[in-house]
Structure 1
Amino acid sequence: MRVPLSWLQEYVDITLPPEELAERLTLAGLEVTRIEKIGDWWDPEKIRVGEILRVERHPNADRLVLATVDYGADEPLTVVTGAPNLFPYVDVERPGLKVAFALAGAYLIDPYDPERKRKKLKPTKIRGIRSEGMVCSERELGLSDEHEGILLLPEDAPVGTPLVDYLGDVVIEFDITPNMARCLSMTGVAREVHAVTQAPLHIEMPTMRDEGEPPAEALVDVVIEDPDLCHRYAATVIRDIHIAPAPFWMQYRLNLAGMRPISNVVDITNYVMLEWGQPLHAFDYDKLVERAGGKKPTIIVRRARPGERIVTLDGVERELDPDMLLIADEKGPIAIAGVMGGLETEVTENTRNILLESANFDYINNRRTAQKLKLPSEASRRFSRGIPEEMVPVAAKRASELMRVLAGGTIAKGMVDNYPVKQERIEITITPREIERQLGVAIPVDEIVDILRRLDFQVTPPDTPHPDAPIRLVAPWHRLDVRIPADVVEEVARIWGYDRIPETLMSDVLPPQRRNWELEARERVRDILVAAGLQDIIPYSLTNLENCAKLRPEGPPPNPEDYIRLANPLTVERSVMRRTVLVSLLETLAFNQRYTDRQALFEIGRVYLPKPGEPRPEEPYRIGIALMGPRDPESVWAQDREPMDYYDLKGVVEVLLDRMHLEGVTFHPLTDHPTFGPRAAALMLDGERIGVLGEVHPLVREAFDLPRVPVCLAELEMAPFVQAYQQPVQLTPISTFPPVKEDLAFVVDEDVPAEEVARAIRDAGGYLVVHVALFDVYRGPNIPAGKKSLAFRVTYQAPDRTLKDKDVERIRRRIVKELAKRLNAQLRT
């Protein structure tokens, strides 16, 4: 939310420097992310307000004109320009156009530079005419991206005034969190400034001069078929308007606030939305009458019907579903409620009569609709966070009056206001003792009352100074976020100052510390994986059924009953609790791929598994690992630039098992998991599966729009690692005797896992075999069909002596005999 101080000062007297104001608002919970000083780089001596005295044709160019500019000096200057909005004034006697004029030597933004670098303006000769200055566009001044014509200032702009004195401003940019949604408006921010700084507030409730006949109720009817989704709908009719550009002051404010001016009617709806936080929409009233067959139109607020379609203002035909709320008439839909209007009833330059909509829609439904249709907008951003029903007529009156004044319209008497769901005024009782209990500090009652009154609460102070005497409150009509006493405590704390709450030490002895094995184990796993080169991520534990279905592209869709659903989800994409960390890993890979080709990530987080007959789900911790992209994109070795695959992931898992001293885990082929392709394995411990790993199925990869490289995921139960972490580590002395290493290759059936061969080698060799590592898999000539050769490097070492050749030979014979017996394996020579 961009807030120009000059606009904000219409509602509250600000005397603090912008930096101090920003700091105090941030400490109160309204975070300032940036302070932009408009025009601070404009040279006051070289960039001034000028007046064009005459416009003449360029003698040597058809697309250029000569503009003679008075900029407050003794003599005017003539400059060459190709601005198309000056051509209508050629040979017009003293056109009186006020402009932003830059002399040679001034620095301006190069409009053709994508990085918007500033360049020094130099005198130049254009088609034989010397030009020592420039009439500037908005883009050259850094005000907007508009560059089609020059910036035309109001007629009363004083000639010769430094432009920074005339147009300079300060814009404070806020990061509006969901709990501060009321500050998505100038008046909302002004109320916060008043509460924090005690600066006088000047917010007047709008009125409108509605004298037109016939009255609005004779011109339109409003029917709300679904009051649960539309709590209030008000309509005014403004007749005989003239579509034209909005006045400069309004266009300039919209530009500073980050919105592009379009026309007076559209700009007024946007202006009022920024001013009061209530989105509006203007329909061409005559088109509504035409659709009604020349009769009085009826606005119907209803759900979409199955298969219903509408062409929106962007020219796109959109298919709707019954969960979406529509604005319709008897002929069909004319707008998607709170999201975007329809093309058939849009306001054009030929529009003469307006029906202005100001309505209150259910914020959850509006958010879901905007996200389903992928139509985010400033309007849906506000609707989706909740707007007070009482704001509807306020904004309608303000916009209607502006259209009367700025578009020359006549407001039909009255307003058609359908209000089926009344806004509840919240009454709360709280005591000073309760505030002290929650904050840990005693705030004087008179300060509490003053703070709440500055926040526009209706306050009945306590009858006595006793800390248990009740303070009775009525929440402001413009605050939907205050519902319970704890909300009042928060308001008092943030305005009084979180930084003023003292630190309080325990007044008792410290309790005996008990080790939290689970937390320690998670931190140990985190350290191991970070040391292995992975990044720790903290994704959402929330997802949606659509993404869950992508995990099983060839299987049945997920059963909604298997998931914990949120009663009041913030977004449709975050509507259910996840059952697996795999979906979060894939969502993160998909999001991050626009920034990097290589991702090596891990997460330690909960999953949520409903338990039949139980009110609460099981919430075990899982370890998730994801690898995608080249091993080392900056390496000079081609092998390192190849994509990571199953074996890279298996190596990471093996390192984790080894460092956590989790022994007895075996890898078995995994063929029944819908998310993985053929290169996958299950981790087994004492006959139970404790994890899976592998390369995801190509269909899963495509469903998440991931690149055509191996995407490797692992999901491991955390509980076995916790149990292993609690066990004392059995340390053995390092042998001082030399090891003996030899390579053994065995021919086994194709379906025999290498892990089983390695286990058989360790079992047969006993304590003298200290390490077994697979280093080669071979299929080809000299190997029978259906067979493969597995080569292992076996390390022998005794703790008490140097092994002799006969010792190694004896162990080797035992190994060969055991493998032949257990796996029908043959030693390859």
Structure 2
Amino acid sequence: MLVLPDDAPVGRPLRDYLGEEILEIDLTPDMARCLSMWGIAREVQALTGGSLHLPEDVDASGGEDSAEEYVSAQIDDSDLCQRFTGTVLRDIEVGESPKWLQDRLSSAGMRPINNIVDITNYVMLETGQPLHAFDYDLLVARAQKLGDSRPTIIVRTATEGEKLETLDGQQRNLERSMLVIADKAGAVAIAGVMGGGETEVHEGTRNILLESATFDGINNRRTSQTLRLHSEASHRFTRGVPASLNEVAARRAADLMQQFAGGRVVPGQVDTYPVRQPQVQVFTSRSDVKRLLGMDLSLSEISSALQRLEFEVEELSELPENASERARFGLALAEGEPVISATAPWHRLDVSLPADLTEEVARVVGYDKVSETLLDTVLPPQRRNAPLETEENIRDILIGCGLQDTVNHTLTTPENHARLAGTGRGRASIGEGEDGEGESDSSRFISLTNPLSPERRVLRRNLIVSALENLAYNLRFKDRLAVFEIGRTYRPQAERGGHANGGISESKLPEEDRRLCIALRGLREPHPSNPSSSEQTDFETELFDFFDLKGIVETLLERLGFAQSDYLFSAHPESGADDAISETMFGPRCALISLQGEELGIVGELHPQVRSAFGLGGERVVLAELNIEPLVRPSWRLSQMAPISVYPPVVEDLAFVVKEEVTQRRLRDAIVDGGGRDGDPRLTSVELFDIYRGESLPVGCKSLAYRVTYQGMDHNLKEREVNRLRQRIIRTVERATGGTLRA
């Protein structure tokens, strides 16, 4: 409800009476300078070519005394507080603000309080500089209790266990990293966030200390987030406030306070400015602007655009030798080409590189003036990203194997990790600690301070937990699932002993590993060699098992360029810490995978109790989790391509009778060895197409039939050549396996 004054004309349209049109401007983070009317006015002036009319900078002070007689100030850390300016006003009268001022604050979404507080808020909206007014007499009373005649303002970080009641009536527990405004008695405000209740301005206030300061944006943002206390002041400090604005905004506020609260502005300001904000000089050129924009602008056009934004511009015949590396970073400059030196105005904290100047030129000239042109510069050399290429190769290979790529939540719960413990003995997964007790202990996880959901409050320690959550969800829609995920796992630094220097990182960043997880559940697909058969085979009715997943992993490793001798599947050890893996997460079908002597991961069938804990039904689930880093090493090698023969191949089928204990791989290796002896390239393909066991064969024997392809690279193979190759294969098979050619 809006209460109008008694003299409001009855019958007049409310819109006409209020007379305010409000523009809501949605700013991007890089436009923090426009969080004020002055900033927006500068932008409009630059884009329209109009003139800029800012309020006159008035020094309203008067009297024979000075601000230094009333208060002193010190900054303990100039990195966190670049500047502190204090202004003293005496004999003011706190009351209501003028209606126009209240209306403007209300239009901006701020609640009018009293003339002093309203003016600090109004000047913040006008200039972009947050201000805060302290009751000066309350500060004096605090100082006198300690035997001092005047207060000393100290900008410092909070002490251990320090507390402060803020203006909203909340008791805040401060941390040592938080910056506060304090006197010798303790904190009186959280710097750049909110003032303290003990020294706030009230109806009986007669003297005030007006604070205008510049605080570090990163520290301010962390403080605001930690305390969950967002304010208009912290919104601006987080994005950057120029230190040069302090005294200008303070004088503007003091002038308005004298007009609408009476009293006197004490001459001078207590101004502590340890490290002054340097002027930023940046260089650009016609070539650089053209390189980035594709527009061929003259030096005068570039200079004019920058001058409209209040840059001090000078045309130089050459780049100065003392130009800083940042001021000329990436600058494109032809031999003997003149350059433009541009000094940024004090209110522009976002300009430091030549590319920044080009962006400003583009904004003023107009993005609609940028024409489409072909790139006329040489592209920078591209560096190969072996890890990324490997991950893309892995995706292609696994999708080719019939699996679906998934992206799962990296957030889960400690309870879901505890479910992986199955029987309750041992740890849940490879890479976990040496005992499973306390699997849900929060110290073993990277926890969120402010989780959006109780189901997403810790970062996962392995990918298997995410895969099982995925299976449990999707089993509501389909029975057959064959999925994989490439993602990160997270563990506290302490579990790996910190960094190489023996300490734990101060940033407390987690250890992150890129890993691959594969999960299979449900029926196999029809065999690709017989996709249209109306009769179901064993292959079609059987469930995925350990050997299906083992075959997928073998295919992956071989397609990535590893030889069969590089990797090894080994049964899980019967004792030791790692025994917990097979006894808890996995059943008896479980194997560790090593690659070139280094542990790569694990593949196995999920333990029935774990399967039940995740609600996955009675059908078996097989899983694998691999470390991706060892897979990167050979993937960068270029594939060696063989020429394609233009001569027709010769294809024949060879069936060998061997004993049951002879494996298919052993027999195939013998065929390849016989046909390709001494590097003979004429044997091009060996494919198993039939396995037969029957009464026509000797007891304890089986028949393996292979389709063998011969092909010459430079001529048609003659029959005698094929016969010699065949006989060589038969002799090698007999010698290596004891097998005979089946009639």
Query: Normalised by the size of structure 1, how large is the TM-score?
Result: 0.52
Aligned 8 A contact 1:458 1:475 in 2: yes
2:346 corresponds to which residue?
477
Provide the C-alpha distance between the structure 1 equivalents of 2:381 and 2:141, rounded to a whole number of angstroms: 81
C-alpha deviation, 1:424, in angstroms? 1.1
SS in 2 for 1:343: coil
Report if aligned partners of 2:87, 2:270 keep a CA contact under 8 Å in 1: yes
Please give the secondary structure, in 2, of the residue aligned with 1:421: coil
> Following the alignment from structure 1 to structure 2, what is the Cα–Cα distance between the partners of residues 508 and 432?
14
Determine whether 1:386 maps to 2:260. no
For residues 274 and 808 of structure 1, the distance between their equivalents in structure 2, rounded to whole angstroms, comes to 97
Who is 2:88 aligned against?
237
- The one of 130, 146, 150 equivalent to 1:279 is 130
Call closer, same or farther: CA 1:401–1:378 in 2, change over 3 Å. Answer: same
One-letter amino acid of the counterpart of residue 193, structure 1: V
Alpha-carbon spacing, 1:598–1:273, altered in 2? closer, same or farther (3 Å):
farther
Q: Determine whether 1:686 maps to 2:596.
A: yes
**Structure 2 counterparts to residues 313-332 of structure 1, below 5 A:** 313-332=167-186
Q: 1:505 Cα deviation (Å)?
A: 3.1
1:250–1:434 Cα change, 3 Å: same
2:71 to 214, 217, 220: 220
Residues 790-814 of structure 1: CA distance to partner in whole angstroms, max 9, x if unpaired?
A: xxxxxxx9614655478899489xx
Alpha-carbon distance in structure 2 between the residues aligned to 1:196 and 1:673: 71
- Separation of aligned partners in 1, 2:546 and 2:207: 66
1:180 is matched with 31
2:144 aligns to what SS in structure 1? coil
Distance 1:298 1:516, change over 3 A: closer
Aligned equivalent of 1:799: 689
User: CA contact under 8 A between 1:234 and 1:418: conserved in structure 2?
Assistant: yes
**Cα 1:355/1:683, change in 2 over 3 Å:** farther
Structure 1 counterpart of 2:251, from 378, 397, 402: 397
Using the TM superposition, give the Cα deviation of residue 355 of structure 1 relative to its aligned residue in structure 2, in angstroms: 1.3
What are the superposed Cα offsets for residues 748-769 of structure 1, whole Å, 9 maximum, x if unpaired? xxxxxxxxxxxxx999565899
Secondary structure of the residue aligned to 1:203 is coil
Distance apart, 1:534 and its partner CA: 5.5
Is the 8 Å Cα contact of residues 304 and 320 (structure 1) preserved in structure 2? yes
Distance in 1 of aligned mates of 2:183 and 2:580? 48
The residue type paired with residue 799 of structure 1 is F
Match for residue 250 of structure 1 among 101, 106, 113: 101
Q: 2:295 matched to 1:441?
A: yes
| Shift in CA distance, 511/236, structure 1 to aligned 2, threshold 3 Å | closer
What's the Cα RMSD here?
Answer: 5.8
Distance 1:525 1:489, change over 3 A: same
> For residues 326 and 216 of structure 1, what CA distance do their matches in structure 2 show?
22
Distance in 2 between residues matched to 1:158 and 1:622, nearest whole Å: 72
Aligned pair 1:196/2:59, yes or no? no
Correspondence for 1:72: none
**Alpha-carbon deviation of 1:188?**
1.6
Letter of the structure 1 residue corresponding to residue 217 of structure 2: Y
Q: Please say if residues 185 and 275 of structure 1, whose CA atoms lie closer than 8 Å, have aligned partners that are also in contact.
A: yes
Distance 2:298 2:279 in 1: 27
Distance, in Å, in 2 between the alignment partners of 1:626 and 1:252 is 61
CA contact (8 A) 2:395 2:405 kept: no
1:299 aligns with 2:145: no
What amino acid is aligned across from residue 330 of structure 1 in structure 2?
A: K
SS in 1 for 2:141: helix
* Structure 2 runs not aligned, ≥5 long: 319-334, 411-429, 435-447, 450-457, 476-482, 502-510, 523-543, 605-613, 617-622, 643-652, 654-659, 669-686, 703-743
SS at match of 1:799: strand
User: What aligned pairs does 1:433-512 form with structure 2 within 5 A after superposition?
Assistant: 433-461=287-315, 468-505=337-374
Structure 1 SS opposite 2:198: helix
For residues 386 and 729 of structure 1, do their structure 2 counterparts lie closer, same or farther at Cα, with a shift above 3 Å needed? Answer: same
Deviation readout 1:196-251 (Å, 9 max, x if unpaired): 33343322353252236754332222223333432221111233444445444434
The answer on whether the counterparts of 2:215 and 2:237 sit within 8 Å (CA) in structure 1 is yes
Deviation larger for 341-350 or 367-376? 367-376
Q: Shift in Å at residue 516 of structure 1?
A: 8.2
Shift of 1:392: 0.3
Percent identity between the two aligned chains: 42
Q: Report the TM-score, using the length of structure 2 for normalisation.
A: 0.57
Query: Take 1:675 and 1:347, find their aligned partners in 2: how far apart are those partners?
Result: 66
Q: Which amino acid aligns with 1:687?
A: G
Structure 1 counterpart of 2:631, which letter? P
- Aligned-pair distance for 1:328? 1.4
Structure with bigger strand share is 1
Contact 2:601 / 2:624 at 8 angstroms: preserved in 1? no
Q: Which amino acid aligns with 2:352?
A: R
1:425 to 279, 298, 304: 279
Greater mean alpha carbon deviation, residues 334-343 or residues 156-165: 156-165
Residue 163 of structure 1 deviates from its aligned partner by 2.7
3-state SS, counterpart of residue 417 of structure 1: strand
Task: Quote the Cα distance in structure 1 between the aligned partners of 2:545 and 2:207.
Answer: 68
Report deviation, 1:448.
0.9
Q: Distance in 2 between matches of 1:260 and 1:724?
A: 63
Report the more deviating stretch, 220-229 or 452-461: 220-229
> Across the two proteins, how many residue pairs are aligned to each other?
535
Alignment correspondent of 2:627: 716
Offset at 1:321?
A: 4.5
Distance in 1 (alpha carbons) for counterparts of 2:64 and 2:545: 78
State whether residues 220 and 299 of structure 1, in contact with CA within 8 Å, keep that contact through their aligned partners in structure 2. yes
In structure 2, C-alpha distance between the alignment counterparts of 1:182 and 1:194, rounded to whole Å: 14
- Please tell me the residue identity of whatever aligns with 1:201: L
Q: In the alignment, residue 685 of structure 1 is paired with which amino acid?
A: L
The code of the aligned residue for 1:278 comes to Q
> What is the correspondence of 1:50-89 to structure 2 with a 5 Å cutoff?
none
3-state DSSP of counterpart to 1:450: helix
Distance 1:329 1:688, change over 3 A: same
Residue 292 of structure 1: SS of its match in structure 2?
helix
Q: What is the rounded CA distance, in whole Å, between the counterparts of 1:523 and 1:602 in structure 2?
A: 12
SS of aligned partner of 1:472:
strand
Q: Is the 8 A contact 1:691 1:717 kept in 2?
A: no
Deviation at 1:709, TM superposition (A): 11
Q: Which amino acid aligns with 1:389?
A: A
For 2:193 and 2:13, locate their aligned partners in 1 and report how far apart those are by CA, in whole Å: 42
Residue identity opposite 1:490 in structure 2: E
Cα drift, residue 273 of structure 1: 1.9
Contact 2:386 2:635 in 1 (8 A): no
CA 175–337 in structure 1, closer or farther in 2 if over 3 Å, else same: same
The separation in 2 between residues aligned to 1:498 and 1:251, in whole angstroms, is 39
Distance 1:625 1:508, change over 3 A: closer
Deviation at 1:161, TM superposition (A): 3.1
- Report the Cα distance in structure 2 between the residues aligned to 1:342 and 1:463, rounded to whole angstroms: 56
Q: Work out whether residues 532 and 652 of structure 1, in 8 Å CA contact, stay in contact via their aligned partners in 2.
A: no
Offset from partner CA, 1:271-311 (integer Å, 9 cap, x none): 22222221111212121011011832221223333443333
Matched, 1:352 2:221: no
Spell out the pairing of 1:605-754 with structure 2 (5 A cutoff): 623-624=514-515, 661=559, 666=569, 679=585, 683-690=593-600, 716-717=627-628, 720=631, 723=634
The aligned amino acid for 1:257 is A
Cα distance between partner residues in 2 of 1:245 and 1:552: 66
Name structure 1 gaps, 5 residues minimum: 1-149, 540-550, 556-571, 574-581, 613-619, 632-646, 695-707, 731-736, 738-760, 770-796, 813-829
